[in-house]
Structure 1
Amino acid sequence: MTNRSELREELARLLLGEEPTLTGLEATERGGLGVEQGERLWRALGFPNAGEAAAYGERDVEAIEVVVSMMRDDLVDEATVFRLTRALGQTMAKLADWQVATIVDQVENDVAAGRAESRLVESVEIAQRIAPRFEALLLYAWRRHLAAAAARLEALGAVDAELLSTTMTVGFADLSRFTAMSNALDQAALGALVEDFENRATDVIASHGGRVIKALGDAVLFVNTDPAAAVRTALEVVQHIGSRENLPDVRVALATGSVVSRLGDVFGPPVNLAARLSHVARSNRVLIDDVTAAGLGDGEFEMRALPARPLRGFGNVSPITVSRRRGFRPRVSARPSLPT
């Protein structure tokens, strides 16, 4: 029987690439940061205070030296360094949790089938097999998304005020009856339902040139710079989710206007209006506001204004229901196939 303590140490060594030999204070001082800045860095990255325990190593020192060099060489100011660090810490923490949750099923199946001695043994073997490859994939994906984000920023124009504030169509896709359904499901089934919903929604959103801002379990918030593409997205989300027996019905709402991008999120009246409209939409229907409707042009969509109703923070609003015009044939474009 393999010693569990040794396996834990082996797993940590494989993932960290070294044995931890330094305390947090020793690592920050060797990297060139003072005590206060060092504590601020660990908090920004989301790491707990390990106290006097040896929880860090030479790679931690190298990471701190990178932070120090950016501030020393005046590449960015100190406030920007720590803002970027906080974004990195929060993103990596979520990614790590997502990765671990994703491989749980494989670990459980391998243990149950006798292909692994224990969960810990299987975790060590998975770390040995995929960690180096996934690290390369992580860097590739980050560079691709960074290039796309830079291109979006450049497309906004040269006016400084436009760089973080721009006009977008915001979409909010919300599952109906989710609370009642979740109460009737066990944890495994609930997790599978949420993952299925998010996967299908994000595939549709990406295929129409949109971006997922965040997933909230029973809802997905997305944006698109083109109102017509956003409406196509919404209608296709209904088609791919609302028609499936294993998923609840879905309600989608869109609103267009100026939004501010901060911390990987978007803020502004269109975000709030899309959320409010989704709450009054009928199941498997798409509602839009009048600004979105004005940007659609003629021919592709049928629209019908509904009676005005009070929406918190917006007064009386007349939602507009939208559907694909009968007989309309969309242009064929090269898009990735969506799940069936």
Structure 2
Amino acid sequence: MTDDDDTDELPTREISAELSRGLEDLLLGQAPTLTRSDVIEQSGVDDAVAVALWHLLGFPNVADDAVAFTPMDVEALRQSDELIRLGVVSAESQAALVRTLARSFARLAEWQTRLLAEIRVRNDATDAEHLALVAAALPNIEAFQNYVWRRHLASAAASLMTSEASAAEGDRTAIGFVDIVGYTSQSKKLDQRELIDWIESFEAAVTGVVVDHGGQVIKTIGDEALFVTAEARDAAEIALLLTARGQDPDDDFPAVRAGIAYGNVVPRLGDVFGPTVNIASRLTSVARPGTVVADRGVHDLLCRDHAPEGVRADDLTLRRIPHVSVKGYGKFDCWVVRRAKS
């Protein structure tokens, strides 16, 4: 084996046909006994609707005579149809809801499966031992996921109740992007396990700081994290804390840069859209390593009770960068946000 081949890859081990069938039966509740036609007939849902939902879930076509389904699939179709009947989900929004659920759970399922596979290899478990572990863990995983979902649902409902007054114009929100500096070059130096650990450490650190300041991480995309806060000051504080950590030689957190903007945002299915999001993203590319760049919306809120030119806002200083060219938005002014020297 050459040095190039000697990498610390994630452990792998061939899955036997027996283990694969056992896992499928365990996770689906029983072995498949129904064809697509059986599911459609028993659920009472239109054929075209059933096929469309299956595609939206991210699964490929199944032959009409293939025995690939269980009563769980029948019940899922009935429940989906019932949500429309109750008026909870419109026929128009059903596709977006199913697609979003599918993307979220596909990512979660991939991570959970990989974790269990690592445990199987590490313990050198037999097929029977691995099935027993999954069977023991599954109810706890399912219950915990339900708890997390309900907690987030309660939090989102409470947040919505406090912001209904502004819903007609769209939510005015602070948007922040944090981007790892030199991600491509650094990732080439790491093996697969080290890269995953590095990214997970980055995500955990960002999430901790954001949540501690009343914000929410909307998503992470490899080397970048998108977060929202109700107040511009909170977004600035989060960005400054993270960039400071990245500049600390004694901190393992990577060097980062950040862009923050404030304005109308369109929330949809757990994501956010609109010009404010786009501007914050563009400002991240303008920022130098270890710096935070803000748009006029953030500047005006931070400085409204202070110097007209925005030279100082409490313990912050804002230095104007005139006529920055931002792709898709032409040239406009933005500001580098820093801690004020005592």
Category of TM-score, reference length = shorter chain:
0.7 to 0.9
Contact 1:23 1:56 survives alignment (8 Å): yes
- For the Cα contact (< 8 Å) 2:97–2:269, is it kept in 1? no
Distance 2:244 2:115 in 1: 27
Report how far residue 45 of structure 1 moved: 2.0
Partner of residue 278, structure 2: 272
CA deviations on 1:240-275 (whole Å, 9 max, x unpaired) are 344366554100110111111123221111211111
Q: Work out the CA distance in 2 between the residues paired with 1:108 and 1:201.
A: 31
Residue 318 of structure 1 corresponds to 333
1:203-254: CA deviations, max 9, x gaps?
A: 1111111111111101011111111111111112223344366554100110
What amino acid maps onto 2:210 in structure 1?
A: I
What is the aligned partner in structure 2 of residue 89 from structure 1?
102
Q: Using the alignment, how far apart are the partners of 1:301 and 1:286 within structure 2? A: 12
Q: Which residue does the alignment assign to 1:335?
A: none
- Map 1:49-60 to 2 at 5 A: 49-51=61-63, 52-60=65-73
**Is the counterpart of residue 5 in structure 1 residue 10 in structure 2?**
no
Pairwise mapping of residues 216-231 of structure 1 onto structure 2 (< 5 A)? 216-231=221-236
2:314 corresponds to: 299
Pick one of 126, 130, 137 that aligns with 2:137. Answer: 130
Structure 1 residues 276, 121: CA separation in 2 closer, same or farther (over 3 Å shift)?
farther
CA contact (8 A) 1:258 1:270 kept: yes
Correspondence for 1:24: 36
CA distance in structure 2 between the partners assigned to 1:311 and 1:75 by the alignment: 41
TM-score by length of 1: 0.85
2: CA distance, partners of 1:121 / 1:95 = 24
* Larger displacement relative to structure 2 (270-279 or 292-301): 292-301
Q: Map 1:245-260 to 2 at 5 A.
A: 246=252, 248-260=254-266
Q: How far, CA to CA, are the matches of 2:239 and 2:122 in structure 1? A: 37
Aligned residue number for residue 176 of structure 2: 171
Output the CA distance in 1 between the equivalents of 2:129 and 2:255: 38
Classify 1:104/1:192 alpha carbon distance in 2 versus 1 (closer, same or farther; 3 Å). farther
Change over 3 Å in CA distance of 1:59–1:251 after alignment to 2? same
User: Shift in Å at residue 105 of structure 1?
Assistant: 3.8
What's the offset of the Cα at 1:312?
A: 1.5
User: Which is further off, 153-162 or 8-17?
Assistant: 153-162
Distance change >3 Å, CA 197–CA 103, structure 1 → 2: farther
Q: How does 1:142-291 map to 2 (within 5 A)?
A: 142-158=149-165, 161-162=168-169, 165-243=170-248, 246=252, 248-291=254-297
Q: 1:71 to 1:167 in 2, by over 3 A?
A: closer
How many angstroms apart in 2 are the aligned matches of 1:166 and 1:177? 34
TM-score, scaled relative to structure 2: 0.85
Q: 1:338 — aligned with what?
A: none
Structure 1 CA distance for aligned equivalents of residues 326 and 93 of structure 2: 38
Q: How far off is 1:315 after superposition?
A: 2.3
Match of 1:331 in 2: none
| Residue 64 (structure 1) aligned with residue 77 (structure 2) | yes
Structure 1 unpaired stretches of 5+: 328-340
Q: Matched residue of 1:308: which SS? A: strand
Distance in 1 (CA, whole Å) between partners of 2:141 and 2:122 is 22
1:92 & 1:68 partners in 2: Cα distance? 20
Residue 231 of structure 1 aligns with an amino acid whose one-letter code is A
Aligned partners of 2:245 and 2:251 also within 8 Å: no
Q: 1:245 to 1:207 in 2, by over 3 A?
A: closer
Shift of residue 74, structure 1, vs aligned partner: 4.5
Letter in 1 for 2:51: E
Note if contact 1:24-1:49 (Cα within 8 Å) is conserved in structure 2: no
CA distance in 2, matches of 1:73, 1:325: 55
For the 8 Å contact 1:170–1:221, the answer to whether it is kept is yes
8 Å CA contact 2:202–2:254 kept in 1: the answer is no
Higher mean displacement: 246-255 or 14-23: 246-255
Name the amino acid aligned to 2:231: D
**Cα deviations by residue, 1:289-311 (Å, 9 ceiling, x for unpaired):** 12102212431322222343322
Q: How has the CA–CA distance of structure 1 residues 247 and 74 changed in structure 2, closer, same or farther, with 3 Å as cutoff?
A: closer
- Number of equivalent positions: 317
SS at match of 2:152: helix
What is the rounded CA distance, in whole Å, between the counterparts of 2:166 and 2:91 in structure 1?
25
> 2 CA distance for matches of 1:37 and 1:151?
34
Deviation of 1:75 after TM superposition, in Å, equals: 4.6
Give, in angstroms, the shift of residue 121 of structure 1. 5.2
